[in-house]
Amino acid sequence: EPEVTQTPSHQVTQMGQEVILRCVPISNHLYFYWYRQILGQKVEFLVSFYNNEISEKSEIFDDQFSVERPDGSNFTLKIRSTKLEDSAMYFCASSDRPGMNTEAFFGQGTRLTVV
């Protein structure tokens, strides 16, 4: 069964360092998303991406964050200068149509720990 895959599963980085989280969405999907979940808190929307551009982003997604689809298969989230409060589980999701009534498939997540 097709699935969204994320790498690495766990990343530890020092405060101030740049980090890139990688996702391979389901192959025929066109809409991509990043979410994060701080330990013990709700899952929060970060950004949606379609046709090589951001379609929506939340207030969390500030200038420290960027997304890219560098080739036909990968979808990345970059955090330029990590802060302690960026420590969270980051989930990538993809869907074959926009959010209206279509299922978004989530990856297993990358646990980011900023020390």
Q: Which residues are at the interface with another protein (CB under 8 A)?
A: 4, 31, 33, 35, 41-45, 48, 50, 55-56, 58, 89, 91, 93, 98-109, 111
Residue 111 beta carbon to another protein: minimum distance, rounded to whole angstroms: 8
The smaller minimum CB distance to another protein, of residues 8 and 98, is found at: 98
Whole-angstrom distance, CA of residue 52 vs CA of residue 37:
25
Beta bridge partners of 34: 47, 92
Select 66 or 105, whichever has its Cβ closest to another protein.
105
Alpha helices (runs of H) in 32-77, residue ranges in sequence order: none
Radius of gyration of the chain measured on its C-alpha atoms:
13
Which C-beta is closer to another protein: that of 12 or that of 15?
A: 12
The 8-class DSSP code of residue 15 comes to T
Least separation, in Å, of the C-beta of 81 and another protein?
26
Q: Which CB sits closer to another protein, 48 or 87? A: 48
Query: Following CA atoms 91, 45, 85, 107 in sequence, which dihedral angle do they give, to the nearest 10 degrees?
Result: 0
**What's the closest the beta carbon of residue 100 comes to another protein, in angstroms?**
5
What is the torsional sign of CA 76, 23, 81, 62? positive
CB of 86: closest distance to another protein in angstroms? 18
